[in-house]
Amino acid sequence: MDGIVRAVDWRNIDNAGPAGSINSTALDMAKWVRLQLGRGSFGGKRLISERMIDEMRTPHTVVPIDTGARRNNPYTHLQAYGLGWFLQDYRGKLVVQHGGNVDGMTALVAMMLRIGEGGLP
């Protein structure tokens, strides 16, 4: 509030489990995104099966499209949650994203894929 930038001490959030406990670098996150865009392959090696990548990007929990969501994206027909990914369509593309934040630190990973390349027919 006073305009002074201050360091924020790391807080032990082990009890939060996966909901905020991932600590990573931008370089490592970029590698993880490349793994995702490579449909489970990275550096010439298959690390995750394509079937599992598709399963992660398949709707498992429907998220209702409320007035706010419709206002933000009047073109959407789908909002759902896959396995670790929020899923939404946008003008014929699949938006696959997940973000989070804790103690003023924020991350967001998002990919826009062609329908049929991301777990949806």
Can you give the pTM of this predicted structure? 0.79
**Torsion from C-alpha of 95, 61, 58, 28, nearest 10 degrees:** 60
User: Domain ranges in the chain?
Assistant: 54-114
The pLDDT of residue 117 is: 63
Asked if residues 87 and 79 have their Cβ atoms less than 8 Å apart, the reply is: yes
Please report, in tens digits, the pLDDT of each residue of the chain (121 residues total).
Answer: 789 998 878 777 777 766 666 778 889 999 999 999 999 999 999 999 999 999 999 999 999 999 998 898 898 889 999 999 999 998 889 999 998 887 777 888 999 988 766 555 5
What does the block give as tokens for 103?
């103690």
The pLDDT of residue 118 is: 57
